[in-house]
Amino acid sequence: MIRHRPAGSGHPYSDDTEQRSPVHPVAGEPLRLGVRTSADADAVDVELEWRDAAGISPGRACPLPVARSSRGQAVDGGHLASAQARQNRAAGGWS
C-alpha cells in the first residue's frame, strides 16, 4: 500500500509523512512530497509533472526513507504532534 494525501491529516502543528509541504506550493520554493507505505515496502519510485507556461515537463524521483518516529517532520511539533505521531508509527514513510 502506498498513500499520499497532499493536505495530510489537517493537523495544525505538524506535517504528516504522506503530506505535501507546503500544502500550496510556491514557484521557485522548496517542496517536500511524502508518502506512507506498508511496512513491507523497500522502495518508492515517484513520477512527477511540472506545469508552467512552457508546458508540461515529466520527472522522476526516488524518495529516501524517513524514521518512523519522525513522521517526516523537519522540526518537533510539540506534545500534541507527539500524541498523534504515536498512532502512526507502525507504517513506513518516504520523503
Q: Which residues of 68-87 are buried (b: 16+ CB within 10 A; e: fewer)?
A: beebbbeeebeeebeebbee
User: What average pLDDT does this structure show over 21-43?
Assistant: 85
- Give bridge partners of residue 60 from the DSSP assignment: 47
- pLDDT tens string 41-87: 888 888 888 888 888 888 888 787 876 544 555 455 566 666 666 66
CA-CA distance, 40 to 2, in Å (whole number)?
11
Domain locations along the chain: 2-94
pTM more than 0.75: no
CA-CA distance, 61 to 69, in Å (whole number)?
23
CB atoms within 10 A of CB 37: 19
